[in-house]
């Protein structure tokens, strides 16, 4: 999942359609892009506090991966640190930019449109470690932004 610029000619589903496809495990692997991950994180945080959103998104990503037959490997499948760290970055950005839709959020936060955003906080070795995949590890380059109460 490299950087993903949102262009005007892209046909992206509205939030309700993306949400339904995600929670029902009907998003195709081609639809489950980095942009979709960020949008789904935003939608979860819009309705739940961080710890509940993390629990739900973790479970739903694992269910979607299972539906896709995605193998669990060091570079494939669910990754706890990437999920939690990105969710924390999304939460921090939501506190700074009040937007209604996930697409507006993504337009307002182009720095989150690439997985490389985490490399400001983590060395490649740390973020791609088996330990980071299995459980959350703290960054080794600089701390993630603190969590704020979005409600």
Question: Confidence class of residue 8 from pLDDT cuts 50, 70 and 90?
Answer: very low
Q: What's phi and psi for 76, nearest 5 deg? A: -140, 160
Question: Confidence class of residue 97 from pLDDT cuts 50, 70 and 90?
Answer: confident
Inform me whether the pLDDT recorded for 9 exceeds 50.
Answer: no
Which range (7-21, 84-98, 108-122) has the least confidence? 7-21
Q: How many CA within 13 A on the CB side of residue 101?
A: 10
Q: What is the 3-state secondary structure (H, E, C) of the chain?
A: CCCCCCCCCCCCCCHHHHHHHHHCCCCCCCCCCHHHHHHHHHHHHHHCCHHHHHHHHHHHHHHHHHHHCCCCECCECCCHHHHHHHHHHHHHHHHHCCCCCHHHHHHHCHHHCCHHHHHHCCCHHHHCCHHHHHCCCCCCCCCCCCCCCCC
Q: Report, as an integer, the average pLDDT of 92-115.
A: 92
Which range (23-37, 91-105, 137-151) has the least confidence? 137-151
d(CA 49, CA 60): 16
> Where are the chain's structural domains?
15-134
pLDDT of residue 31: 94
Inform me whether the pLDDT recorded for 130 exceeds 50.
Answer: yes
pLDDT of residue 10: 60
Which range (23-27, 112-116, 131-135) has the least confidence? 112-116
Q: Report, as an integer, the average pLDDT of 85-108.
A: 93
Question: Confidence class of residue 2 from pLDDT cuts 50, 70 and 90?
Answer: very low
């Amino acid at each position: 999942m490299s950087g993903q610029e949102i262009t005007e000619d892209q046909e992206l589903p509205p939030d309700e359609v993306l949400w339904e496809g995600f929670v029902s495990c009907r998003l195709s692997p081609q639809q489950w892009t980095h942009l979709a991950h960020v949008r789904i994180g935003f939608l979860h945080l819009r309705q739940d506090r961080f710890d509940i959103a993390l629990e739900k998104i973790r479970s739903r990503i694992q269910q979607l991966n299972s539906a896709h037959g995605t193998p669990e490997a060091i570079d494939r499948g669910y990754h706890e640190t990437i999920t939690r760290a990105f969710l924390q970055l999304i939460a921090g950005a939501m506190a700074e930019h009040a937007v209604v839709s996930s697409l507006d959020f993504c337009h307002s936060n182009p720095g989150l449109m690439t997985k490389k955003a985490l490399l400001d906080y983590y060395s490649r070795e740390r973020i791609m470690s088996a330990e980071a995949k299995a459980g959350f590890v703290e960054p080794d380059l600089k701390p993630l932004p603190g969590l704020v109460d979005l409600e």
